[in-house]
Chains A and B, each alone.
Chain A
Amino acid sequence: MNISIGHLLLVNAGIIMLVGFYGIISRKNLVKILLSLNILQVGVNLLLVALGWVENGVAPILKEGHTLEALQSAVGIHFVDPLPQALVLTAIVIGFGTTAVALTIIINYHKTHKSLKVHNFANEMAKPDEEEVVE
């Protein structure tokens, strides 16, 4: 069985996603949870890149010598699909934005909770913050 770079990318994407997901459910520190989310995101981005992979593909830009026959023939020029790459680029920008806002929220969390640990049901019961009221 031939293993192409596309297959390797897919396997890699799966492993990275699992690492990210494990981090989200196992870590107690907010920064580490956010990092795990970012790792998961890298995995998904890699998945999209892998799905758009074309063996011996070239950038989809028409140049001299790119005749219609060559483009249509099975042994001719193989353009890669630019859409998954455009999707990944957009997803990276969105991921940057959400991470930036999430980091400011973590700073806010540290200011209000004096900790970066996950606030769980047990410490909610031990230290309720019912005195806080907002209309």
Chain B
Amino acid sequence: MNQIIIFLIIPVFAAFITPAGSLINKKFANILNVVLYLFAIVMGLLIYPSLVGSTQVIAMGGWKAPFGISIVASPLAMGAGIAMYFIGFLIAINNINKERPANYNLLFNLFIFSSVVMVFTGDLFNLFVMMEIGVITTMALSASTNMKAGTRGSFKYVVNSGLVSMLILASIGLMYSALGTLNIAQIAAGPAMNSYLAFIVGAGILMALFFEAELFPFNAWVPDVYRGSHSSFGAALAGIAGFAGMLVMARVLFTLMNPSSSFQLARESLNNLLFGISIASILVGEIAALNAKDLKKLLAYSSIGQMGQVALAFAVAGSLQLSGNMVNTSPAIYAGLFLLIVHTLAKPMLLFITGFFIKATGKAKWEDMKGIGRVYPFMAVSFIIGGLTLMGIPLFAGFWGKIELVRALFAGNVLAKVGLGVLLFATVIEGVYFMKIGHSLFEGKTKIKPKRNGDFAAVLVPVVILLVCLMVFAFFPGVVNTHLRSFADSLFNSGGYVESVLTGVGL
């Protein structure tokens, strides 16, 4: 079997053997997840060099594109897969002492599988199926704590996901009737659709990705799901599902809907839609976060705002590409990717620390955690560093992404200038709420006694690893710059993607 397929199905293997293994030992799945995700990371790192410069396309069942489903293993997809398994590995470490039912771990593995395959797939219907697998697992996992907020959030998720699933399914049907294909590469190279049809179909697909990436207007479920589920699952939503959703959005925007694709007549309208959604997401997310008292809810709103910033970077890249400003397009995509990877590392860290603080204090509001920074100073300082990273303050990792984004916004159109104003406003708001919490963690006294047990170590290890990654990104951005810039170029160069998928098919 192809090694890339093995890389993709590692979580499915874990999901299959988890129920049987859990009969022998209740913590079987906890250890299995750590081992298998570590194996997946190592395997991905070994495969990655062979993909640089030569994207590998796997025809599932032997049916070549565009007749069958193709898995497109580009360096971007493999890098994203490694990053998602990395977050999965850290979550598995965080859960190592927790007794979760076998079904929880089974669903969690399927959740990671669906997110990883979403980034690899070259077929739109396959993308829909993977999104649905992700939806079913998220519904169940967010209601697994049997809490009011979790169940409520889960039902909101049911309604939102039901609506967007139907939108993307109808869009897929319309597109197939118009073009006779669902292959991303063929549509990217295809003849132009009618402008109205292209807008309806494009908006339907983008709406589904807005939902996946926690963007406005399908984000009503986000705060309740974060609040009512385990912190580690919140970390998975922010670090894996949101990450995958955003990368698929980038692929859809710059490859599927490139300026010479079947969507060419509606590309500008779709880009303006993305501008509107990203600006609305930043405003809604950050203002709601400012008023939130529950720490997990606050981080959920913050995720909406952060994802809005990434979407803003993609929107400005799209508008620069349309206006022929090719010099600034790739840096704008790079800014989006940098902000996305920083969020993928920082938000899970904040959620791990939040879960630990909630367990230590028995309270969910940040105002009730006063003084805990004196008991657990490393955790509190890490929380503050995570907040400063997300804000994009100089000397922290987020700065490199934000400065590139600001540059791109300066070069953009009127909507980009509006976006710039909103971005700066959002940064100030982020500063207010993160510093307010940071101050509160060290203010006053608490009766909590410090415990240095296994639970502490299970949080400390992933937090230290993520903190080191963020510090490396902050002080040695060159480590990832080369890769991120080549990913941005590969997204921008849709011709290369089309060629690698359709070569030899004779279409």
Give the residues in chain A near B162, CB-CB below 8 Å: 24, 37, 40-41, 98, 102
Q: Does A65 touch B at the CB level, under 8 Å?
A: no
Closest partner residue, chain A, to B173 (CB atom): A48
Instruction: State the interface size on chain B (CB cutoff 8 A).
Output: 45
**How many Å from the CB of B160 to the closest CB on chain A?**
10
What is the size, in residues, of chain A's interface with B at 8 Å between Cβ atoms?
39
Hey, what's the 0/1 contact readout for B165-185 against A, CB within 8 Å counting as 1? 110011011101100000000
Contact of A105 among B149, B158, B166 (CB under 8 A): B158
Does A94 belong to the interface (CB within 8 Å)? yes
Residue of A nearest to B365 (CB): A130
Taken together as a complex, chains A and B put the C-alpha atoms of A134 and B357 apart, in Å, by: 11
A9 within 8 A of B: no
Residues of A within 8 A of B229 (CB): 134
User: Contacts A24-B163, A44-B170, A94-B129 given: A132-B158 contact, CB under 8 Å?
Assistant: no
Are B169 and A134 in contact, CB atoms less than 8 angstroms apart?
no
Query: B125: which A residues are within 8 A, CB to CB?
Result: 87, 90
B158 near A112 (CB under 8 angstroms)? no
Interface pair A44/B230, CB less than 8 Å apart: no
Instruction: Say yes or no: is B154 at the interface (Cβ < 8 Å to chain A).
Output: yes
| Bound-state Cα–Cα, A44 to B204, Å | 13
Q: Is B503 an interface residue (CB 8 A)?
A: no
For A100, the closest partner residue in chain B by CB is: B136
- Bound complex: CA A129 to CA B150 (Å): 11
- Which residues on the A side are within 8 Å of B359 (C-beta)? 135
Partner of B358, one of A30, A111, A133: A133
Contact of A130 with B364 at beta-carbon distance under 8 Å, contacts A91-B169, A108-B151 already known: yes
B121 within 8 Å of A (CB atoms): no
* A90 CB contacts on chain B under 8 angstroms: 125, 129
CB distance from B73 to the nearest CB of A (A): 24
Tell me whether A134 and B159 are in contact (CB under 8 A). Answer: no
Residues from chain A with Cβ under 8 Å of B148 in the complex: 112-113, 129, 132
A132:B173 contact, CB within 8 angstroms? no
Among residues of A, the one whose C-beta sits closest to the C-beta of B140 is: A101
Bound Cα distance A52, B176 (Å) = 9
CB distance from A26 to the nearest CB of B (A): 13
Complex Cα distance, B11 from A43, in Å, reads 34
Among B143, B159, B230, point to the contact of A37 (Cβ < 8 A): B159
Task: Provide the bound-state CA to CA distance between A81 and B102, in Å.
Answer: 42
| Cα of A101 to Cα of B174 in the assembled complex, Å | 28
Answer whether residue B431 sits at the interface, using C-beta atoms and an 8 A cutoff. Answer: no
Given the complex, which residues of A lie within 8 Å of B158, measured CB to CB?
34, 37, 98, 101-102, 105
Q: Is the CB of B176 within 8 A of A51?
A: yes
With a cutoff of 8 Å between Cβ atoms, the chain B residues found around residue A84 in the complex are 173, 176-177
Q: Kindly state whether residue B303 has any CB partner on chain A within 8 Å.
A: no
State A44–B162 Cα separation when bound (angstroms): 11
Closest CB-CB distance, B172 to chain A, in whole Å?
7
Q: How far is the CA of A129 from the CA of B174 in the complex (A)?
A: 44
Task: Please give, as numbers and ranges, the residues of chain B lying within 8 Å of A40 by CB-CB distance.
Answer: 162-163, 166
Residue from the list A51, A87, A113 in contact with B152, Cβ < 8 A: A113
* Pairwise interchain contact A112-B173, C-beta atoms closer than 8 A: no
Residues of chain A contacted by B324 (CB below 8 angstroms): none
Binary per-residue interface labels of chain A (86-121) against chain B in the complex, 1 for a CB within 8 Å, 0 otherwise: 010011001001100110111011011100000100
A109 touching B356 by the CB < 8 A rule?
A: no
Pick the contact of A112: B135, B136, B147 (CB < 8 A).
Answer: B147
Bound complex: CA of A44 vs CA of B364, how far in Å? 42
Q: Does A83 contact B (CB under 8 A)?
A: yes
Is B145 part of the binding interface, using a Cβ–Cβ cutoff of 8 Å? yes
Least CB distance, B150 to chain A, in whole angstroms: 7
Instruction: Specify which of A47, A98, A134 is in contact with B145 (CB 8 Å cutoff).
Output: A134
Q: Which chain A positions have C-beta within 8 A of B362?
A: 133
Q: Other than A44-B170, A113-B148, give 5 A-B pairs with Cβ distance below 8 A.
A: A24-B159, A37-B163, A40-B166, A51-B173, A105-B158
| A-B contact list, 7 entries, CB within 8 Å | A37-B163, A44-B169, A51-B176, A94-B129, A97-B136, A108-B154, A134-B145
Chain B interfacial positions (CB closer than 8 Å to A): 125, 129, 132, 135-136, 139-140, 143, 145-152, 154-155, 158-159, 161-163, 165-166, 169-170, 172-174, 176-177, 228-231, 294, 355-356, 358-359, 362-365
Please name the 8 residue pairs, one residue from A and one from B, whose CB atoms are nearest each other, closest first.
A135-B359, A51-B177, A37-B162, A48-B173, A129-B148, A102-B158, A135-B355, A94-B132
